[in-house]
């Protein structure tokens, strides 16, 4: 049984997940590192939208954090990671 505030919390989680799903449209699937980027973005973004103090509530900054983690992972594996994402969506209009 869900308590008085339970339905509000469930609805908030659903809204957060829907928002992130919409944002992930702009980070395409790809090789293993690109797919890890999507996964890490999802995890960090959930925390940022849930107002965790250590994660900025900004899709651009969350993407930058995720890319940094994947680049480090690729470097440790002896590879290079070139992220693919819609720059206009995350950064703004490119002039």
User: What does the pLDDT look like over 7-31, one tens digit per residue?
Assistant: 788 898 899 999 999 999 999 999 9
Residue span of the structural domain in which 12 resides: 6-91
Quote the DSSP letter at residue 26: T
Whether residue 1 is contained in a domain is answered as no
Contact 49, 20 (CB under 8 A): yes
Distance CA 75, CA 87 (A): 23
Q: Is 48 exposed, middle or buried (0-12, 13-18, 19+ CB in 10 A)?
A: buried
Q: Which pTM does this prediction carry?
A: 0.86
48 domain-assigned: yes
pLDDT at 1 over 60: no
* Total number of domains in the chain: 1
**Torsion sign, CA atoms 28, 30, 32, 34:** negative
């Amino acid at each position: 049984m869900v308590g008085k505030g339970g339905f509000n919390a469930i609805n908030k989680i659903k809204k957060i997940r829907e928002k992130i799903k919409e944002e992930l449209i702009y980070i395409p699937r790809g090789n293993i590192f690109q797919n890890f980027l999507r996964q890490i973005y999802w995890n960090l973004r959930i925390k940022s939208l849930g107002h965790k103090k250590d994660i900025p509530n900004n899709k651009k900054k969350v993407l930058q954090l995720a890319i940094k983690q994947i680049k480090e992972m690729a470097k440790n594996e002896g590879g290079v990671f070139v992220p693919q994402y819609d720059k206009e969506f995350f950064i703004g209009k490119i002039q």
